Amino acid sequence: MPRTMTKMFKIALPDGSVKEMPEGSTPADVAAAIGPGLAKAALAAKIDGEVRDIMRPFEGDSSLALITSRDEKDALELVRHDFAHILAEAVQNLFPGTQITFGPATDDGFYYDFAPTAEHGPFTEEELPAIEEEMRRIIAADKPLVREVWTRAQVRDFFDKSGEAFKAEWVMELPEGETITMYRTGDGKDAWIDLCRGPHLASTGKLDPNAFKLTRVSGAYWRGDPKNPMLSRIYGTAWLNKKQLDAYLVRLEEAAKRDHRKIGQEMDLFHLQAEAHGSVFWHPNGYIIWRELEAYMRRRLDAAGYLEVKTPQLMDARQWEKSGHWGKYRENMFVVPDEIPSTEEEAPILSGDADLMALKPMNCPAHVLIFNQGIKSYRDLPLRLAEFGCCHRNEPHGALHGILRVRQFTQDDAHIFVTGEQLVDEVVEFCNLLDSVYRQLGFENYAIKLALRPDQRYGSDAEWDHAEQVLREAVAKAGRNTPEFGWEELPGEGAFYAPKLEFHLTDAIGRTWQVGTIQADTVLPERLDANYIGEDGQKHRPVMLHRAIIGTFERFIGILIEHYAGKFPLWLAPVQAVVATIVSDADAYAGEVAAKLAVAGVRVETDLRNEKINYKVREHSLAKVPLLLVVGKREAEEGTVAIRRLGSDEHQKVMSLDEAVAMISAEIVPPDLREG
Ligand SMILES: [Zn+2]
Ligand SMILES: [Zn+2]
């Protein structure tokens, strides 16, 4: 063997091969050794699973996966963090004296918090185009982004000298002994430096100058604390290329048009007001959608062998203690004293020493209490208890959002008690039911993800191994652990008591929503001592499956509104048809038409106002009424109607009244009740 002075590291590549690289070499060297194409495409490196700079030398034998733009998630995060640095440099170039603080990547871009000079004050949106220009100049200069290890004292001195009070404060709070890195953009007097953990791309020129946009400014407190100085935050969105950026901007615009709060008002579906933060006032039109959806879900559950129950809103705190919610979940609960309030003038309304009760934040413990009534045998299993359970969760006002994020909500909840042997098949059955429901409700695409054990959890490792394996196996058995179903496993994202399958819907404009879930839980049956008598005559613990398909009615209806942009399929539309007159001579006939439709079960209204027909058409299409039946003198004489469909380009279609009634009453049938 030849003797060599240089130490060699073994670098294992994803294809199983191993490359020997001399000490001091970098992932970029490996990329270059493989080929010039890869050398150009490689953005960063995953070393033993950790994302690192492509120019950072290996520190020993390691596994290496090169990150290119194909690894979209990692690439986007890197790029967004780079943009944040470039934003900060641009702002300091244009507005000398501005201090820097923090600037992370976000879900669609990045932001940076600045302390502007007193003379300048907070940044404004009018300044954003100039800042964008300066950012493009920095990108065009293709400045290298270099990682440097500094000592704490060096960093503090550097920031003290350059008047960066916030950064100087921050670095002194980093734990003693932690490796402190500074990232330098460019060289010499052109260099710009920020305290940063990284990683970053090799140079600013790796970014697409047309793949970002600064979007808005806002105030933000230093370190999120209202007692601290107010900073000026600049937001941007950033992508790998212009095509992605454009698609995102179109999606934003489209999302604004579909905003469920806006459409909810236009269609008179619901409202919210401050006197009931996070609880929805359903108007008659909105509640029709709810009732149709609830009736649909009830039919599907009945057919799938579920038994519907109803459980109390208020339960004693001791019960929540037993179930484990009082410890882990209390901050999300509304707590109520078990006491009659005093009406005496001098006395306090509540004594403060009554027993506590809590509004249920979930239905699970109550369903175990039903299961525990009487003796259960293995012949009773699987036992599927369903509840359209109204729950309350105490969320801060700022976290609430329309009907998508509320404090009072109704779940399509169910708990299935099964033996260990029944587990996989029951989960498969659930996957099939959910698949059919999503398709019938108009969602063709959804993804399935397995959320694995979190750091903080109940139960032994063996139990978690088993529970995770069961869910994995069930999805495979249902044939859905495929790329078509976006199958992936998410380490650390399970609930504290069980791993879970998550089902993410894709809506009409490509956004995803986590809606359905199923979790295999052995902890709650244990805590609440649920058991059944097995074939062997002995007591056994059942496994409890927590599952929901649409999640909550509130959020799901919000998603439906945005998915359909208010143009609901006929069976869900609050008003299915309006009979509108052209002339008042047709009033009596319009009444006859509406009456016939109503008898056929159609939700129909008449519009006999003395208005031009075009005005009526416009108004009802704004209200998203699917069918407009126009009648005039001629229709009245001939016994016909002229039908216009919402959003259809084809002209109105004239047909006999009987034909129209037959056609419409066939179309309003919910999807699960249709033949074939
Ligand atoms: Zn950084
Ligand atoms: Zn549950």
Q: What tens digit of pLDDT does each residue of 16-38 get? A: 999 999 999 999 999 999 999 99
Cα–Cα dist 629/620, whole Å = 11
Provide mean pLDDT across the span 457-486.
92
Which of 74, 412, 413, 507 is an active site residue?
Answer: 413
pLDDT of res. 2: 55
pLDDT of res. 541: 96
User: From ligand 1's centre to the CA of 198, what distance in Å?
Assistant: 5
User: From ligand 1's centre to the CA of 194, what distance in Å?
Assistant: 7
440 is a catalytic site residue: no
Cα–Cα dist 145/634, whole Å = 77
pLDDT of res. 4: 57
User: From ligand 1's centre to the CA of 10, what distance in Å?
Assistant: 30
Q: What tens digit of pLDDT does each residue of 289-327 get? A: 999 999 999 999 999 999 999 999 999 999 999 988 888
Q: What tens digit of pLDDT does each residue of 128-158 get? A: 999 999 999 999 999 999 999 999 999 999 9
500 is a catalytic site residue: yes
Q: Would the pLDDT of 466 be above 60?
A: yes
pLDDT grade for 676, boundaries at 50, 70 and 90: low
| Pick from 272, 294, 290, 293: nearest CA to 281 | 272
Which of 411, 422, 519, 576 is an active site residue?
Answer: 411
Instruction: Calculate Rg over the CA atoms of the chain.
Output: 31
364 is a catalytic site residue: yes
User: From ligand 2's centre to the CA of 546, what distance in Å?
Assistant: 4
Q: Would the pLDDT of 88 be above 70?
A: yes
Ligand nearest to C-alpha 415: 2
Which of 392, 546, 596, 620 is an active site residue?
Answer: 546
User: From ligand 2's centre to the CA of 397, what distance in Å?
Assistant: 25
Find out whether 43 and 68 touch, Cβ atoms under 8 Å: yes
User: Residue 286 burial by CB count (10 A; 0-12/13-18/19+): exposed, middle or buried?
Assistant: buried
Number of H helices, E strands in the chain: 20, 32
Provide mean pLDDT across the span 525-552.
96
Ligand nearest to C-alpha 524: 2
User: From ligand 1's centre to the CA of 200, what distance in Å?
Assistant: 8
Ion ligand 2: residue ranges with CB closer than 5 A: 364, 546
Q: What tens digit of pLDDT does each residue of 333-369 get? A: 999 999 999 888 888 898 888 899 999 999 999 999 9
Provide mean pLDDT across the span 189-215.
93
Handedness of CA 323, 327, 333, 334 (dihedral sign): positive
Ligand nearest to C-alpha 360: 2
Ligand nearest to C-alpha 311: 2
Ligand nearest to C-alpha 104: 1
Provide mean pLDDT across the span 170-188.
90
pLDDT grade for 652, boundaries at 50, 70 and 90: confident
User: From ligand 1's centre to the CA of 247, what distance in Å?
Assistant: 27
413 is a catalytic site residue: yes
Question: Which residues lie closer than 8 Å to 637 by C-beta, 6 or more apart?
Answer: none
Cα–Cα dist 535/166, whole Å = 68
Residue 32, helix vs strand vs coil: helix
How many beta carbons lie within 10 A of that of residue 107, not counting itself? 8
Residue 545, helix vs strand vs coil: strand
Cα–Cα dist 46/67, whole Å = 7
Which of 46, 393, 527, 616 is an active site residue?
Answer: 393
Cα–Cα dist 578/561, whole Å = 20
Q: Would the pLDDT of 648 be above 80?
A: no
User: From ligand 2's centre to the CA of 85, what distance in Å?
Assistant: 44
User: From ligand 1's centre to the CA of 101, what distance in Å?
Assistant: 10
User: From ligand 2's centre to the CA of 138, what distance in Å?
Assistant: 53
Find out whether 30 and 19 touch, Cβ atoms under 8 Å: yes
Q: Would the pLDDT of 632 be above 90?
A: yes
Which of 500, 596, 620, 624 is an active site residue?
Answer: 500
Lowest mean pLDDT among 218-227, 287-296, 355-364, 631-640: 218-227
- For the chain, the average pLDDT equals 93
For the stretch 359-375, what's the b/e string if a residue is b when 16 or more beta carbons lie within 10 angstroms of its beta carbon? bbbbbbbbbbbbbeeee
Ligand nearest to C-alpha 197: 1
How many beta carbons lie within 10 A of that of residue 327, not counting itself? 10
User: From ligand 2's centre to the CA of 670, what distance in Å?
Assistant: 28
User: From ligand 2's centre to the CA of 538, what distance in Å?
Assistant: 26
Higher pLDDT, 177 or 247: 247
pTM listed for this prediction: 0.81
Which of 415, 472, 563, 596 is an active site residue?
Answer: 415
Ligand nearest to C-alpha 200: 1
Cα–Cα dist 54/75, whole Å = 12
160 is a catalytic site residue: no
User: From ligand 1's centre to the CA of 524, what distance in Å?
Assistant: 43
Q: Would the pLDDT of 3 be above 60?
A: no
415 is a catalytic site residue: yes
Question: Which residues lie closer than 8 Å to 188 by C-beta, 6 or more apart?
Answer: none
